[in-house]
Amino acid sequence: MSKVENLERIIAEFGPSLHDAPYGGWKADRKIDKVVPTHCPYCAVQCGMNLLVENDHVVGFEPRYDFPVNEGKLCPKGVTAYLQAHHPDRLKHPLIKRNGLFERASWDEALDLITAKIKELRSKYGNDSMALYSGSSLTTEKTYVMGKFARVGLQTRYVDYNGRLCMVSAAAGNNKAFGVDRAANPWSDIPLSEVLLITGANCAETFPILNKYMWEQRDNGGIWIIIDPRETPTARQGDLHLQLRPGTDVALANGMLHVIIKEGYVDEQFISNRTNGWTETREVILEKYTPEYCAEITGVPAEKIVQAARLYGRAKTGFVLHARGIEHHSNGVDNVLSYINLVLATGKIGAPGRGYATFTGQGNGQGGREHGQKSDQLPGQRSINNPEHRKHMAEFWGIAEDELPQAGVSVVEMFQKMREGEIRGLISVCNNVMVSLPDTNKVRESLEGLDFYVCIDFFMSEAARYADVVLPGTAWSEDEGVTTNGEGRVLKINKATEPPGEAKPDWWIVQQLAKRLGREKFFPYTHSREMFNELREASRGGTADYGGISWERIERENGVFWPCPTDDHPGTPRMFEDRFYHPDGKARFHAVEYKGADEKPDDEYPLILTSGRVVFQYLSGNQTRRIKFLVDQCPEPYVEIHPETAKKLEIADGERVKVVSRRGSGVFPALVVRTIRPDTIFVPYHWGEELAVNQLTNPALDPTSKIPEFKACAARIEKVASRQLPILGQARQGTSLNEAQQGK
């Protein structure tokens, strides 16, 4: 049903096209009507910024020096973020696909069509034939409404969100170890630490403003230990770099813990007072994980493992920071738990300078995973499998408990169910599956096999091209609401302008659908403040308790850290000062064994392919691949190859090569650099279709978190004969292969 035809016309009409000027062009004599303090739409540092508004158009920005997290600082994405608000590619009207072409439709026409299709599918195949796939770049109010709309409006069990590709391993690991899912310390604790242990996190590019705190720590005399297969800009600045083989983190962390135990750096008092499970863990570690054994698995010299363990173990204060590098694995939760073991064994948590945190990818990655758009979760980090939690939420929403659907499945499994025909219709909000899901050839199959596909977005993403109906949502500057940044600080996004054309807030769109489905009384909203007040009440008594947080308090206090149960509660910047969140108040060790990646290199596919991000692009690139300044700096993906490997394969720097895995292949220019391991290659992931590294990646899932293994799969490199090159003489022009082929 949902095939992409007339691709050239879709691209000509909806982009990505490159834009490099604010609304109305560059002018020195703007009359700025208002300055709107808000936050960046991109990553979870959620830097403060002021938007400059002229005549209901965002025309520029000013640093927000008074916001304590970033003090005015911004990365290249933040500096150019305002350019997306009035980008010529913005979707301004509902679109219905007829004969392979998107045609402008009225809201009533589009919503009536969607409702008819939903009703048809539900009567034929049951309520669970519809699925909702949401995102975390939405405000928390919207994510709450999306979860509620799936369960109460669509009445389907199949709902999930794109944090499944991002935060879930960290969330699951945190829940297992600490009984709650949130960064343990505010970032202001970082400068108080003697040692930072940064693993699988290229924060110089992916969380740029955090470097402010990290350099403060360094100016205080601190040390950085970096664990990463590449010499990233982060690793380059570090003091000790353990350049491990991708997917071997458990071995590395266990090796370090071995040294910490053997050399007596464990905090016995902390372990006996505040933790459970140490004896078993200690046994497993001592039995097997000597530095020499771990050196063999990880490819990191044993002396470096010992050195890192001593640096972290001996320090009085220390901070462990990790991100997708350890989490995007089929054993991502194990990886997280093995580093948490280091934190607990040395008692480096719950005090100033003694900390632990994970980096959230999306702007509202934290808030988006708290209030019930996850397949197994209800608002306030409650569990849909817990009878008490079910009862509470069913009562709160005013539905019978048996009316509340059971847990669904993760997004990768949802797309499997689409291929199997169990899910027949999909509504996706705020995501771009043709870039971000693993094994995109299979994803395309899933989308093309759907009976009906609706996409809500504010730009025509690669995935939206497959949709039957595309509905125009709002950019971040056109609605208000809260987000929760990576340290657990709840922040307020403010509205600067009205949406362009007939675009509408995402919550309004699902509300209209609910109305047509006869579920109007559950969605009586007129303003996002009402949704905030509802979710605030819904979260009350849950782990992520927003009970005492109001929009006014957020503005007054520059953000409030949850849990904050009452109006006079100061919020909780630092967690675990006296207790963890398991019923007994103690943290748990987990004895984790090394398993390695799902797919290991062999003769046919001798290299390990890993993927990641660059500073100039954001996630699936739907926003940033349209802004000329960013595209100029990084127009297309490339493959990093070590000179030794390149020499063996006779590959020159800049030459286009074919990278092949068991699932697909892609042609990328080679970047021959000594900053990567000889057995590993790297491709950044922000592009779709022919340029997607996710054509190659392995959809193997972590058994607990269901995160796919983006960060390690077996691959080989082939030389490409010049006549096979996809772009002749047009190298590195345009934002996509299609554009380049058109000579745009």
Partner 1 sequence: MIFVDYIDRAETTATMPTLCMHCSEPTCALVCPADAIKQNEDGIVMSALKPRCLDCRNCVNACPFGVPKYNSAMHLQMKCDMCYDRTSEGLMPMCASVCPTGAITFGTYEEVVPKRKTKPVNAHVFGNQRVETKVYLMLPTDAEEVEVDGCGVFEGRVAVEREEGRKASWLETQVESSDNRNEF
Residue 643 contacts partner 1 per CB under 8 A: yes
Q: Which of residues 425-484 bind partner 1 (CB under 8 A)?
A: none
* Residue 400 one-letter amino acid: A
Considering only residues 229-288, where is the footprint of partner 1 by CB under 8 A?
Answer: 231-233, 235-236
- Nearest distance, CB of residue 610 and partner 1, angstroms: 16
> At which residue do the structure tokens 């109001």 appear?
550
Could you give phi then psi for residue 170, rounded to 5 degrees? -65, -45
Count, residues near partner 1 per rule CB under 8 A: 35
Report in angstroms how near the CB of residue 136 gets to partner 1 at its nearest. 23
Binding of residue 65 to partner 1 (CB under 8 A) = yes
Pick 204 or 659: Cβ nearer partner 1: 204
Give the type of residue at 503: A
Which stretch in 102-110, 212-220, 431-439, 449-457 sits in contact with partner 1 by CB under 8 A?
Answer: 212-220
Residue 34 makes contact with partner 1 by CB under 8 A: no
Minimum Å distance from CB 628 to partner 1?
A: 9
Q: Nearer Cβ to partner 1, position 397 or 629? A: 629
* Residue 733 contacts partner 1 per CB under 8 A: no
Q: Is residue 215 part of the contact set for partner 1 (CB under 8 A)?
A: yes
How far, in Å, CA of 378 to CA of 386, rounded?
A: 10
- Residue 97 touching partner 1 (CB under 8 A): no
User: Could you give the string, one character per residue 669-688, with x where binding to partner 1 holds by CB under 8 A and - elsewhere?
Assistant: x-xxxxx-------------
User: In the complex with partner 1, which residue's Cβ is closer, 430 or 630?
Assistant: 630
Tokens coding 331: 């054993």
In 247-344, where do the E strands start and end? 275-276, 318-322
Among 1, 13, 30, 72, binds partner 1 (CB under 8 A): 72
**With respect to partner 1, which residue has the nearer C-beta, 219 or 604?**
219
Q: Can residue 13 be called a binding residue for partner 1 (CB under 8 A)?
A: no
Q: Which residue has the tokens 């599918």?
A: 121
Contact between 63 and partner 1 per CB under 8 A: yes
- Applying CB under 8 A, among 7, 12, 24, 26 the residue interacting with partner 1 is 26
Query: With respect to partner 1, which residue has the nearer C-beta, 45 or 306?
Result: 45
Q: Whose CA is closest to 69, among 197, 212, 224? A: 212
Q: Which of 343, 235, 230, 250 is nearest to 294 (CA)?
A: 250
> Which residues are CB-neighbours of 521 under 8 A, at least 6 positions away?
none
Asked if 212 is part of the footprint of partner 1 (rule: CB under 8 A), the reply reads yes
Q: Which is nearer to partner 1, 669 or 678 (CB)?
A: 669
Quick one: 212 or 586, whose CB is closer to partner 1? 212
**416/675 with CB nearer partner 1:** 675
Count of Cβ atoms closer than 10 Å to residue 67 Cβ = 21
Q: Is the CB of 411 or the CB of 630 nearer to partner 1?
A: 630
Of 638, 682, 687, 710, the residue at the interface with partner 1 (CB under 8 A) is 638
Q: Does 219 bind partner 1 (CB under 8 A)?
A: yes
**Residue 600: Cβ within 10 Å count:** 13
Measured from the CB atom, is 25 or 583 closer to partner 1?
A: 25
**Per residue in 80-90, is it b (16+ CB within 10 Å) or e — as a string?**
bbbbbbbbebb
Nearest approach in angstroms of CB 732 to partner 1 is: 7
Distant-in-sequence, close-in-space partners of 648: CB < 8 Å, separation ≥ 6: none
What the block records as the tokens of 688 is 């779709």
> Is residue 730 within the footprint of partner 1 (CB under 8 A)?
no
CA-based nearest residue to 112, from 424, 513, 464:
513
For residue 102, report the phi and psi dihedrals to the nearest 5 degrees: -80, 125
> Closest CB to partner 1 among 84 and 232?
232
> Per-residue DSSP letters for 628-661?
HHHHHH--S--EEE-HHHHHHTT--TT-EEEEE-
Pairing of strands 377-378, 382-383: antiparallel
CB 283 within 8 A of CB 591: yes
Nearest to partner 1 of 348, 686 (CB atom): 686
Buried b (16+ CB within 10 A) or exposed e, 200-210: bbbbbbbbbbb
DSSP state of 498: P
- Cβ-based nearer residue to partner 1, 49 or 336: 49
Among 74, 418, 627, 693, binds partner 1 (CB under 8 A): 74
Binding track over 155-194 against partner 1, x by CB under 8 A: ----------------------------------------
Q: Is 619 exposed, middle or buried (0-12, 13-18, 19+ CB in 10 A)?
A: buried
Min dist CB 63 to partner 1, Å, is 4
Q: What is the 3-state secondary structure (H, E, C) of 336-393?
A: HHHHHHHHHHCCCCCECCEEEEECCCCCCCCHHHCCCCCCCEECCCEECCCHHHHHHH
Which listed residue (135, 179, 208, 542) binds partner 1 by CB under 8 A? 208
Could you tell me the smallest distance in angstroms from the CB atom of residue 378 to partner 1?
Answer: 37
Which residues form the interface with partner 1 (CB under 8 A)?
Answer: 26, 63, 65, 72-75, 78-79, 204, 208-209, 211-212, 215, 219, 231-233, 235-236, 629, 632-633, 638, 643, 653-654, 669, 671-675, 732
